[in-house]
Structure 1
Amino acid sequence: MRTGDTHPTTAPPAGPPHFPVDPIRWPDVAAPPPASPPRTAVAAAVVRRALRQLPLRVRFADGTELGKGGPVLHIHRPEAFHRRIGKQGLVGFGESYMAGEWDAPDLVAALTVLASHASKLVPAPLQRLRGLWALRQPSARRNTPLGSRSNISHHYDLSNDLFALFLDETLSYSSGVFRGLPATWGLLADAQRRKTDRLLDLAEVREDSRVLEIGTGWGELAIRAAARGARVTSLTLSSEQRDLALERVAAAGLADRVTVELCDYREARGTYDAVVSVEMIEAVGAEFWPTYFRTLDERLAPGGRVALQAITMPHERMLASRSTYTWIQKYIFPGGLLPTVEAIAGTVRDHTRLAIVRRDSYGAHYAETLRLWRERFTERAGEVAALGFDETFRRMWTFYLAYSEAGFRSGYLDVQQYSLTKEEIAR
């Protein structure tokens, strides 16, 4: 058939996956939300208009095909698909995947096309009316000290065993830095150690350095800093992470050099020669970016260094969507918001005595890191199920990893390593 043709093809797509969706655990996935026929019809028209212009092959259950050719996307239940998007936008798009209403043989490739055209998917007139139709972030998800504890627990206290199934032996849950791309699973642990060592070098961590880590993870950075002879205070809001990090620190024989505290970054005290924070700013929220960077400033001794790793997005897209409630915020990272290079620079300039002295980006490395995690997660689906995570969860997690990978492959997302300094106070 001709590209973009809307007539039925001779080979309808494969049927939808069949699995039960628990209506108690997944109330918004179990059934599409109620929506008026006119609203659903408008959503269908907008969606189909966007799909016709994309380098995709979008195949509907009746064999109808849209798009200009490219990765295949099967829409098994068009009415439910359109109703969800009409009612909940991109949140509905993700929930529709979780429900098995659409699928893609190469999910990352299909999502990469969508990420590459993110700014053009919604017509300009509707973009200007975004405040009327876009879902708003719940006030309960604000990253206040109390809200942050709940938001962090939602993700990081799921299960240490779950994360151990798809992370490498370092249990590093952030982008690695590879020597070359593409990468293989056997290279991931070294890439994570290389990333960590590079951050410690940027912060000039050495023997007897006093180090503050904001965001413990599972303890890898604290262990490597302590192995250099540093004394480390690491802060986390995840009790699961803290427990395992302490076990790993003790197993490394470094318990006398590392303290792991269940503590909000705003509660930190003391001064340090180095402050390191790896992919934690994404959980801070725009409202609290000035507070976060002032904390880095206040905790850093004059002449000290900050090393920061941050995922970033385009500035104009952040400004347009920062009040919008997204699928990632609803299901993966409540209260999360990616900063931008411009926002970080402006916040540092306007709210601190710090100066950015170096910035390096590694977006392609994150795409590879996510690919390796996603493949590992898929390979171990049976073990994930054995931990008690159902098929809806596994589809959710697969979508999250693929969605994130697509963001980096398209260039929509990037990851930065920063070095910041605070000059000695003149006497």
Structure 2
Amino acid sequence: MLLARLLSPALTAGALDIVGADGRRHRVGVGTPSLTLRLHDKTLHRDLVMNPRLRFGEAYMDGRLTIEGGSVYDLLALLSAGTDNVQGVLGSLRETLSPALRLIQQSNPLRRSRRNVAHHYDLSRSFFELFLDRDLQYSCAYFPTPNTGLDEAQEAKKRHIAAKLLLRPGMRVLDIGCGWGGMALYLARMTGAQVTGITLSSEQLAVARERAAHAGLAGQVRFELRDYREMEGRFDRIVSVGMFEHVGVPHYPAFFAKLRDLLAEDGVALLHAIGRSDGPGSTNPWFRKYIFPGGYSPALSEVIPAVEKAGLWNTDVEILRLHYAETLRHWRERFATRREDARAMYDERFCRMWEFYLAGAEISFRYQGHMVFQMQLARSLGAVPLVRDYMQRTEAALTEAVPPPLRTGRNVGANNA
């Protein structure tokens, strides 16, 4: 079997049995395999050789490919943990993208951005509640210790970001890509800031407004259905968490120029985004088609030149390496325990798609060079202190702070307008 011969170099730390559609068994790797990959369609033999990065996920979604003895995560980890990464072994000419094709894939004008966001983020709140933390943080958590739980790690992430923003009561803050509002509400409640959150997801907007009203913060936090390119005015602080992956390299100059225009002269911005450690690349075609159309996680070498051209100071950069792998592990395990609830909301194919997504995303951070970067930016040279110990002091103070009591609002529905 050609597929078995191609996979052999990747399996340097284990073994796998592959059963073809004809029933013949092929052993790959060294040792006794604990997993069996079973192909149920003869056309898969060709598809997995010609375009594995797209067809493997599709076959798993459709049930044309099944795994015995473990999960899809176990299989992907086995194929990725060796000295030769399976993506390199099974790479094809389709993945050798020309610069022009990469620019087309990452082009996100306003109308396309709205459509791309709706594709993923306009799923129901109830679905995301199955596996996210209690604050609905759909981005990389921050794990101070290996034993930190998901809820605590997401709180630690918000503290970590707030400490870098140097916030004071009354400051005007813009949250670009505010999600379901958790970050904006945290900053308002814990620091006294006035926060504007913007999103392109109608579902997220409704939830964020409902949460602000319920917390009695509707007068301090407002949420709008708006793109960053449509914003005007000046803000003392700007934060963006998990949104930059949807901008696209062709739009980086405009993004950072707009950020500079929106930032006060002594303002500070914090960008939290997924990146890659191995230089510019391309988005996995299965992820691009089914999960994040138009999405791309950049190398820092693609980001920093755009920051420089916009006339911004890059005042601090922190690389979070395995934090997102651990976040995704929690999501994957939580999703598995609530899988039947997800299937009742959608269907079996949808559940298999999300299993593959969560497993594949965790693998990319654990074995394939993906990471998260936090980049602190400013317009002026003296906007932040000369040494970064203020971050640790502020973070410690926020850890010990007792949050103000929730001021439960009335007429929640009226505040959703």
**Category of TM-score, reference length = shorter chain:** 0.7 to 0.9
Give the SS at the match of 1:275. strand
Structure 2 counterpart of 1:205, one-letter code: L
What is the CA–CA distance in structure 1 between the aligned matches of 2:365 and 2:95, rounded to whole Å? 28
Structure 2 counterpart of 1:102, one-letter code: T
Q: Which TM-score applies when normalising by structure 1?
A: 0.80
After the TM superposition, which of the residue ranges 63-72 and 167-176 deviates more from structure 2? Answer: 63-72
Deviation for aligned residue 1:209: 0.8
Q: Deviations over 1:199-225 (max 9, x none)?
A: 122111220111011001110111011
Give the SS at the match of 2:130. helix
Match of 2:169 in 1: 207
Match of 1:337 in 2: 296
What is the CA–CA distance in structure 1 between the aligned matches of 2:337 and 2:94, rounded to whole Å? 43
User: 1:210-289, aligned counterparts within 5 Å?
Assistant: 210-227=172-189, 228-289=191-252
Task: Say if 2:316 is the partner of 1:383.
Answer: no
Structure 2 counterpart of 1:169, one-letter code: R
Deviation for aligned residue 1:106: 4.1
Match of 1:103 in 2: 67
Q: Deviations over 1:356-395 (max 9, x none)?
A: 22122222221111111111111111111221x1111101
* Structure 2: gaps spanning 5 or more residues: 384-417
The 1:45/1:109 distance shift into structure 2, 3 A limit, reads same
User: 1:359-370, aligned counterparts within 5 Å?
Assistant: 359-370=317-328
What is the CA–CA distance in structure 2 between the aligned matches of 1:47 and 1:334, rounded to whole Å? 31
Structure 2 counterpart of 1:50, one-letter code: L
Match of 2:122 in 1: 157
Deviation for aligned residue 1:137: 7.3
Task: Say if 2:153 is the partner of 1:191.
Answer: yes
Match of 1:297 in 2: 260
Work out which of the residue numbers 99, 107, 120 in structure 1 matches 2:88: 120
The 1:356/1:73 distance shift into structure 2, 3 A limit, reads farther
Deviation for aligned residue 1:114: 3.8
Give the SS at the match of 1:178. coil
What is the CA–CA distance in structure 1 between the aligned matches of 2:79 and 2:260, rounded to whole Å? 39
After the TM superposition, which of the residue ranges 137-146 and 84-93 deviates more from structure 2? Answer: 137-146
Q: Deviations over 1:303-331 (max 9, x none)?
A: 11111111111343x34x36xx6100100
Q: Which TM-score applies when normalising by structure 2?
A: 0.82
Fraction of identical pairs, as percent: 37
**Number of residue-to-residue matches in the alignment:** 369
What is the CA–CA distance in structure 2 between the aligned matches of 1:138 and 1:309, rounded to whole Å? 23
Work out which of the residue numbers 333, 350, 371 in structure 2 matches 1:414: 371
Give the SS at the match of 1:241. helix
Structure 1 counterpart of 2:135, one-letter code: T
Match of 2:96 in 1: 130
Match of 1:355 in 2: 313
Match of 2:392 in 1: none
What is the CA–CA distance in structure 2 between the aligned matches of 1:222 and 1:113, rounded to whole Å? 40
Q: Deviations over 1:284-342 (max 9, x none)?
A: 111112222222111111111111111111343x34x36xx610010001110111122
What is the CA–CA distance in structure 2 between the aligned matches of 1:182 and 1:72, rounded to whole Å? 29
Give the SS at the match of 1:255. coil
The 1:128/1:93 distance shift into structure 2, 3 A limit, reads closer
What is the CA–CA distance in structure 2 between the aligned matches of 1:146 and 1:79, rounded to whole Å? 40
Structure 1 counterpart of 2:377, one-letter code: L
Deviation for aligned residue 1:97: 1.4
Deviation for aligned residue 1:78: 6.4
The answer to whether the 8 Å contact 1:203/1:305 transfers is: yes
Q: Deviations over 1:68-127 (max 9, x none)?
A: 35763513336333232345431111111112213261433432344451563146xx55
Match of 1:143 in 2: 108
Task: Say if 2:7 is the partner of 1:50.
Answer: yes
The 1:87/1:234 distance shift into structure 2, 3 A limit, reads same
Give the SS at the match of 1:269. coil
* Structure 1: gaps spanning 5 or more residues: 1-43
